[in-house]
Amino acid sequence: MKNYVLFIAINLLLVSSLPAKIINGYASGINTAQEGIRKLSALIRLDSNMSVSEKKKMQEYLDRNREFVLFHDLTERLLLQFRMISPDIYNQIDTIKDAGGRVVDVYVKFLASEKMDGSVAGRTNIPMEGDDAYMSSYGQHTASVQVVIGNDALSLLAHEFGHVMYQVPNIATYRKFYRVHYILRTADSEEIGHHNTDPSGQKAFEFQKTFRLQYDSNNWSQKFERPVAVLRKMQKDLQ
């Protein structure tokens, strides 16, 4: 068991040292959140003149920062697991380029269901304006993936990576398909991306099937806890 933990730790260091194209979506705010936790914790502990309402507000800010760090660390951990389970899918997305040959960074966030807009369990952004360059809220030449935490979260990530795999190099033509088939759908509809002739949906289900086969054939369920169990343990450690 110790050797296996060491193996994970070494792989984490290797992942961190590589030029990342799959990026933790919480990474840009992690230092601010950690500093916020340090300062707020000290303020609550040391300021005896703080009113009850002020202390409550400070505690809310503190809890918000702790939640941010929690989901950053959870995302980091699950991305590492995904890479170990399905290195081929991971590497395809990690090196993805658009139609112009430009590298595209893919930002991934695992999040609680109440943080996801609408009722979907996974989402890949689709830029509806522009040419063949992909973009998201993270900027030009980026894509954004969000997945709700559940026991099938890694399988859903594989599904979203399939969407990314097709859409990034084909966004100019995919926009036309999207406008024809989904124009009357709401943005959070589960039907978006899954029309029976949708090439993005087909690639998504292909990636998901591949991931599940790799997960089952290598008995990963015996090596990794389910994402929900991981989240609960991490939440308990914060208490």
pLDDT band, very low/low/confident/very high, at 15 (cuts 50, 70, 90)? very low
CA distance 38 to 54: 17
Q: Identify which of 124, 111, 107 has the alpha carbon closest to the alpha carbon of residue 163.
A: 124
pLDDT digits (tens, 9 = 90+) for 95-142: 999 999 999 999 999 999 999 988 899 999 999 998 899 999 999 999
pLDDT band, very low/low/confident/very high, at 1 (cuts 50, 70, 90)? very low
- Distance, CA of 149 to chain centre: 10
Q: Is the model's pLDDT at 187 over the cut of 90?
A: no
CA angle 236, 22, 185 (to 5 degrees): 90
**Residue 74: Cβ within 10 Å count:** 22
Tokens representing residue 190 in the block:
């589960």
Q: Is the model's pLDDT at 192 over the cut of 80?
A: yes
- Residue 55: per-residue pLDDT: 85
What's the whole-model pTM score?
0.87
Q: How would you classify the pairing of strands 105-111 and 142-148?
A: parallel
CA distance 235 to 229: 10
- Residue 188: per-residue pLDDT: 59
Q: Identify which of 74, 59, 159 has the alpha carbon closest to the alpha carbon of residue 112.
A: 74
Mark out the alpha helices in the chain (DSSP H runs): 2-17, 30-46, 52-85, 87-94, 153-182, 199-217, 227-238
More confident residue, 9 or 26: 26
| Of 22-26, 33-37, 54-58, 166-170, minimum mean pLDDT range | 54-58
Bridge partners, 110 (sequence order):
147
